[in-house]
């Protein structure tokens, strides 16, 4: 059994480590010119984990694609370019698993849609999402994650391979609900970090109550099952995203309101823009996402934004879920 990972950053390196732990032949790929990847090839470690010597690291894409399963873990906004490259290869004997959470900026499209638009020919296309941080998993802290695919047999095949006592695997066929849910939880994570930075963490309960409601409305408008938002793809990921010190999106929100810099990618930043684009096409209001975007772009001050979100009339707080 051969597993390859395309993109070997924080989350990608975890997939390398975990696939090796599962006993598979593992290859990791990034394009030539990546400084962090050169360091990973040299040291076999990064700030999160240490890779076993059995893992092959390469800049040769064709070599990496010789696999039974390919896990993709590149930034969401870089994925279309990679999908175009993948379309030149015959992957009909390979399960392609998207292991990042985001929507394409501008179009608001889900990453599986991008994959199909670029003509990627794979045995199956699925997404591996859900709560967890490499820092916890490598210490042996167990978690539950989700594989979603329109092909339930493929999802079963992947969860059967990858499930363990460390990562309990579940599956779903609702690509729309789970992909949007997984992407949008990062935006809610930024909002949670803003509350932390303003010493208003007590409002996280209200944020957790309202966040899934606006995402569920968007999922329903896009044709997905709104109930998926209340599973591992979104609400089930709140502890890892809204509270964990390892959450980059929460950390970004906190740093933003404190006027500090935060290293590393916070995927919720471009996703917030993509969500508003998608919501505009379907006529859905996203109050939390809109305020987060306003703050990022400095169109509104923080106290006014908090007032808009949490000091609205009571009758609006308890409006029907999908009204």
- So where are the chain's domains? 2-174, 176-317
Query: How many of the other CB atoms lie within 10 Å of CB of 66?
Result: 14
- The predicted structure's pLDDT at residue 313: 52
pLDDT in tens, the chain (323 residues): 999 999 999 999 999 999 999 999 999 999 998 899 999 999 999 999 999 999 999 999 999 999 999 999 999 999 999 999 999 999 999 999 999 999 999 899 999 999 999 999 999 999 999 999 999 999 999 999 999 999 999 999 999 999 999 999 999 999 999 999 999 999 999 999 999 999 999 999 999 999 999 999 999 999 999 999 999 999 999 999 999 999 999 999 999 988 888 777 789 999 999 999 999 999 999 999 999 999 999 898 877 887 777 765 554 544 444 44
**b/e 122-134 (16+ beta carbons within 10 angstroms → b):** bebbbbbbbbbbb
d(CA 219, CA 307): 26
Q: Which CATH number fits domain 2-174: 3.40.50.720, 3.40.50.1220, 3.55.40.20, 1.10.287.540?
A: 3.40.50.720
Beta-strand relationship, 167-172 and 143-148: parallel
Q: Which fold has domain 176-317?
A: 1.10.1040
- The predicted structure's pLDDT at residue 317: 44
Q: What is the CA radius of gyration of the chain?
A: 19
Beta-strand relationship, 121-129 and 143-148: antiparallel
Q: Which residues fall within 8 angstroms of residue 249, CB to CB, at 6 or more apart? A: 186, 187, 189, 190, 193, 241, 266, 267, 268
d(CA 97, CA 88): 18
- The residue among 79, 134, 133 whose CA lies nearest residue 102 is 79
d(CA 314, CA 288): 17
Active-site position among 2, 21, 101, 185? 185
- 70: part of which helix (H) or strand (E)? strand 69-72
Is 185 a residue of the active site? Answer: yes
d(CA 267, CA 29): 21
Instruction: Give the pair of three-digit tokens for residue 309.
Output: 């979100």
Give CA angle at 142 (272, 148), nearest 5°. Answer: 50
- 82: part of which helix (H) or strand (E)? helix 79-86
Cβ proximity of 222 and 283 under 8 Å: no
Instruction: Give the pair of three-digit tokens for residue 146.
Output: 């989700």
Judged by DSSP in three states, 265 sits in coil
pTM of the model: 0.93
**b/e 273-285 (16+ beta carbons within 10 angstroms → b):** bbbbbbbeeeebe
């Amino acid at each position: 059994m051969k597993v390859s990972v395309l993109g070997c950053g924080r989350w990608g390196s975890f997939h390398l480590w975990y696939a090796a732990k599962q006993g598979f032949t593992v290859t990791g790929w990034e394009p030539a010119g990546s400084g962090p990847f050169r360091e990973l090839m040299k040291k076999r470690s990064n700030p999160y984990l240490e890779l076993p010597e059995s893992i092959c690291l390469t800049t040769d894409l064709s070599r990496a694609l010789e696999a039974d399963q390919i896990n993709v873990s590149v930034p969401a906004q870089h994925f279309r370019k990679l999908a175009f490259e993948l379309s030149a290869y015959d992957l009909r004997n390979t399960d392609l698993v998207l292991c990042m959470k985001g929507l394409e900026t501008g179009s608001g499209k889900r990453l599986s849609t991008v994959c199909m638009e670029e003509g990627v020919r794979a045995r199956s296309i699925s997404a591996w999402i859900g709560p967890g941080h490499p820092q916890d998993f490598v210490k042996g802290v167990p978690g539950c994650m989700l594989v979603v695919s329109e092909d339930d047999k493929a999802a079963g095949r992947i969860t059967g391979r990858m499930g363990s006592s460390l990562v309990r695997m579940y599956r779903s066929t609702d690509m729309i609900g789970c992909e949007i849910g997984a992407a949008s939880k990062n935006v809610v994570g930024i909002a949670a970090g803003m509350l932390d930075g303003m010493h208003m963490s007590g409002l996280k309960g209200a944020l957790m109550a309202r966040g899934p409601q606006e995402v569920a409305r968007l999922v329903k408008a896009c044709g997905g099952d709104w109930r998926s938002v209340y599973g591992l793809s979104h609400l089930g990921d709140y502890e890892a995203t809204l509270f964990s010190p390892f959450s980059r999106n929460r950390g970004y929100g906190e740093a933003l309101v404190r006027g500090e810099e935060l290293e590393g990618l916070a995927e919720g930043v471009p996703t917030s823009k993509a969500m508003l684009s998608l919501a505009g096409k379907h006529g859905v209001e996203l109050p939390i996402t809109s305020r987060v975007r306003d703050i990022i772009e400095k169109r509104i001050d923080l106290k006014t934004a908090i007032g808009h979100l949490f000091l609205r009339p009571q009758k609006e707080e308890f409006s029907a879920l999908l009204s």
